[in-house]
Each structure stands twice: as structure tokens, then as C-alpha cells.
Amino acid sequence: DGGITQSPKYLFRKEGQNVTLSCEQNLNHDAMYWYRQDPGQGLRLIYYSQIVNDFQKGDIAEGYSVSREKKESFPLTVTSAQKNPTAFYLCASSSYKAGSGANVLTFGAGSRLTVL
Amino acid sequence: SQQGEEDPQALSIQEGENATMNCSYKTSINNLQWYRQNSGRGLVHLILIRSNEREKHSGRLRVTLDTSKKSSSLLITASRAADTASYFCATALTGGGNKLTFGTGTQLKVEL
């Protein structure tokens, strides 16, 4: 089955530690995204990548880093510089290409990060 | 950044009733999408309506778009307990490329 796999589902981290969230897709999608969701709020875009070896900052990129070395993978590192990292993190992908129409996202099941 | 605002924030209805939730946005869009999120899970795409469309249907879902009022509504007819979830609108801004901006969501509870 095609889809997006996020791991781990739950993660606990001590303050001052970096942590990396994994996102893998087998949908052959070019574009991948990371969103953050806080309780009772909508999704905020952290980073996105439209093609391998290229990515752009979203609305709340400070304290986060990403890489896109393979089409299938878009890991997110939450660094110690992120002041309030406890949140639900969602990875998504799409087959969007500029000028080709609407961008419909397929989401993973999410990773819940708690900083102790 | 521009963000859709859903109304109401929470909605509780009985099974079999219709559920209506609204989304307002601020600037010109290419399309508007609705997503559903079950508690603690990822979002699932429900339906997309383009800026030149006024109404779309998909099964028990009906979406309307009024670009003059910068608003959209999602109607779920004959609701079921399994429809209990949060519903989000997402807007693709004109000239915004492939970025989607999500609203704050409506929490729908359908009671037996």
C-alpha cells in the first residue's frame, strides 16, 4: 500500500537535546511538507521541499532543520534552539507541480513530541 | 500569514442530523480544500473547490464557496457517529504556489 510513514509515533526528549523525526513516502511524490499542530489549533508550516536537494522555510522554521537527500525521505530535526517543541508533528506529501493544478496533501499519522 | 477561520469551533449534534461548518479567509485564493482529522491522527483530504466553482458534492458532503464574501461552508448530511472528528479548511493563495494555509478547525461530535 502506498502512503506516508512517520516515526516514532511518540517521542520524549529532555530539554537541550536535538531529536529527529522520520518521514518516508512511497507515493512517488515530488513535494513534501512538515507541519506543527498545537492543541486546539490549526496546522502551521515548518518547512517544505518541492524537489530533492531543495527546501524552503515555512512560517515557523526557527529552531528546526530538514534535509531532502532522497525523494522518499524528508526528516525533520527539532533542535535545542526551538523554545517550545512539545507538539504534534505532521508530515505530508503531494504530487504538485507548478502550473499543473491544485495541491492536495496526503498526510502521515503524526509524531507526538513531548519535552520533559 | 493569512489563515482560514472556522466557525463554530465546536459542534455537537445527534446522529442523523446535518452538520454545517463555515470557513472564512482573507485574501484571493486559487482553491479551498476541506480535510478531516480523527483524534491523534493525520489529516485526510475530503474535497476541493476551485475559485471559479460555487458548489461541489461528494457523497454526503456538500461544499459551497462564495468568493465575494471570502467564505466557504461544508455540509455533512445525515451525520453518523463515525463522522466525529475535527474538520479543517485549507486555502491555496493566488500566487502562493503549492503552499496551503490551514484554519483552526471545527470539532464535530455526533452523538448516538
Compute, in degrees rounded to 10, the torsion defined by CA atoms A67, B92, B63, B66.
160
pLDDT average, residue stretch B27-55: 94
Q: Of B11, B7, B25, nearest to B65 (Cα)?
A: B25
Identify the burial level of B30 via C-beta atoms within 10 angstroms of its C-beta, where 0-12 means exposed, 13-18 middle and 19 or more buried.
Answer: middle
Partner-chain contact A102 B97, CB within 8 Å: no
Nearest C-alpha in B relative to A88: B40
pLDDT at position A41, please? 79
Contact B98 A90 (CB under 8 A): no
Cell of B63: 461544499
What pLDDT does B2 receive? Answer: 47
Neighbours of B42 (CB within 10 A): 22
Sign of CA dihedral B41, A65, A5, A96: positive
User: What is the reported pLDDT for A1?
Assistant: 60
**pLDDT top residue among B98 and A67:** A67
Q: What is the pLDDT of residues A57-116, one digit of tens each?
A: 999 999 999 999 999 999 999 998 888 999 999 999 998 766 667 789 999 999 999 998
CA distance B42 to chain A (A): 4
CB contact under 8 A, B50 and A104: no
Cβ-defined contact of B42 to A96 (cutoff 8 Å): no
- Search chain A and give the residue with CA nearest B104: A42
Whether chain B has a CB inside 8 Å of the CB on A95: the answer is: no
DSSP state of B60: T
pLDDT digits (tens, 9 = 90+) for A78-95: 998 888 999 999 999 998
Instruction: Name the pairing type of β-strands B85-93 and A111-115.
Output: unpaired
User: What residues contact B35, with CB distance under 8 A and at least 6 apart?
Assistant: A105, B43, B44, B45, B46, B87, B88, B89, B90, B102
Asked if residues B21 and B110 have their Cβ atoms less than 8 Å apart, the reply is no
Q: Across the interface, do A104 and B33 touch by the CB < 8 Å criterion?
A: yes
- Can you give the pLDDT at residue B88? 96
A52 CB near a chain B CB, below 8 Å? no
C-alpha–C-alpha distance, residues B43 and B36, integer Å: 5
Enumerate the residues of chain B whose CB falls inside 8 A of the CB of residue A110.
40-42
